[in-house]
Amino acid sequence: MNSFTFRRRVFLASVSTGFTSYVLAEVESSQGGEYRFGHCMLSIADCRRRIELEFSLSTARARRQSLAKLDLLIEVLNSFREALVREAQLIAGYEGGGKGTRTKKGKS
């Protein structure tokens, strides 16, 4: 049986939606550094789609690459969040009448 030092699954939508979107992060124990071929996987699922990102720790190079991949993923997700927040605020402001007057196409 696999022993995990980290294993967490979180659902991305409330149960009331009925959607099964989730993130599953797993890091198998290296047994004090002795076992380097463990299961280190990040799975992201949204309805019927699922991606799995593997983070190998088997060699010094693989460890560097895995950590760089994770750092880049975190950086992109943070930037994506910032852009999403900005756009959500712009849309909310527009819907609230905060940005001038709305016109239909072809009419002023």
Sheet holding 4-11, edge to edge: 4-11, 22-28, 40-46, 49-54
Q: Looking at residue 98, what is its pLDDT?
A: 63
Q: Looking at residue 99, what is its pLDDT?
A: 57
Q: Looking at residue 86, what is its pLDDT?
A: 98
Contact 69, 80 (CB under 8 A): no
Q: What is the mean pLDDT of each run of 10 residues along the chain (108 residues)?
A: 91 89 97 95 94 98 98 98 98 80 47
Q: Looking at residue 6, what is its pLDDT?
A: 97
What the block records as the tokens of 58 is: 């088997």
